Amino acid sequence: MEISISVNGTQTGGDVAPRTLLVHYLRDNLGLTGTHVGCDTGYCGACTVIVDGRTVKSCTMLAVQADGRSIETIEGVAVGDELHPVQEGFWECHGLQCGFCTPGMIMSSIALLDNNNDPSEAEVRHGIEGNLCRCTGYHNIVRSVQYAGAKMRGEDPQGASQGVSS
């Protein structure tokens, strides 16, 4: 089937088999391998992308279902050399270890902060409940998201660059 999808602001498309998952379209057809696959039941969130402003687990959507929509993946988050505050937060607060869950975690965190840039610990934990991390125990992910929120509110949060950790 012919499809046309905007990905990170670029129009993409072509002929895809109807059963192609969106995540495989992104990874195999477009070479955007930052979106990961960690399960087969829509549970881990490693494949999370933003479709028309809402987070979607791209392993639960067919590429053809995304026809005509606008998608943002992890590769489109930084503007040139400038990291998104959430990316900076994960770096400053050691919010990642192996990094495999990280792209999905960052996409969910961006969506969370877009709704509420001053989330409590509980709100952060609730907001990323669809994303599993096996490495960090989430402690530093919570800190990373709150760091990003502070940054987005115009504050000057402290992280590893200032010698501050957990």
Partner 1 sequence: MSTTSVMGGIVRRKEDPSLIQGKGVYVDDIRRHGELASAFVRSPFAAATITSVDASAALALPGVHAVYTIDDVRHLGLNPAQVAVGTLRPLLADGTVHHVGQAVAMVVADDRYIAQDAADLVYVDYEPGDAVVDLKDAYADTVQVHDGVSNTLLTWNGHAWWEGVIDLPDPSPGIQEAKERDDTVVVSLEMVNQRLIPTAIEPRAVLADWKSGYDSVELWSSSQIPHAVAGAVGLAFGIGSNKVRVVAPEVGGGFGLKLNVYPDEILVCFASKVLGRPVRWTETRREAGFASIQGRGWIGTSTITGTREGKILGYELDAICDMGAYTHNFTVAIPLLGLFVASGQYDIPTSYALHCVVTNTPTTDAYRGAGRPEAAYYLERIVDAFAREIGMDPADVRKANYWKPDQFPVTTPIGLTMDTGNYEVNLDALLERVGYEDLKAKRDAARAEGRLLGLGLSSYVEVCGFGPSALAGLGFSWAGYGLPAAFNGSGVVRVQPDGTCTVTIGTGPSGQGHETTWAQIVSDGLGIPMDNIEVHHGDSIDSPMGIGTFGSRSIAVDGTASFEATNRVKEKAAIIAGHLLEAAPEDVQFADGGASVAGSPDRTVSWAQIAESAYQPHTLPEGMEGGLESSVVFSPPNATWPFGSHLALVEVDPETGDVDLLDYWATDDCGNVINPMIVDGQVHGGIAQGIAQALFEEAIYDDMGNLLTASLVDYPLPAAENLPMFSLDRTVTPTDVNPLGVKGIGEAGTIGSAQTIVNAVVDAVSHLGVKHIDMPLRPKRVWQAIEDARN
Q: Rule CB under 6 A: which residues touch ligand FES?
A: 37-39, 42-47, 57, 59, 96-102, 133-136
Contact at 8 Å (CB) between 107 and 47? no
What CA–CA distance (Å, rounded) separates 32 from 138?
Answer: 26
CA 134 to chain CA centroid, nearest Å: 16
Among the candidate windows 50-58, 63-71, 72-80, 149-157, which touches partner 1 by CB under 8 A? 72-80
Q: Which of 58, 92, 110, 111 touches partner 1 (CB under 8 A)?
A: 92
E strands within 20-104? 48-51, 54-57, 70-72
Site residues, partner 1 (CB under 8 A)? 17, 19-20, 27, 31-41, 43-44, 46, 73-75, 77-78, 83, 87, 90-92, 94, 96-103, 106, 121-122, 124-126, 128-142, 159-161, 163-166
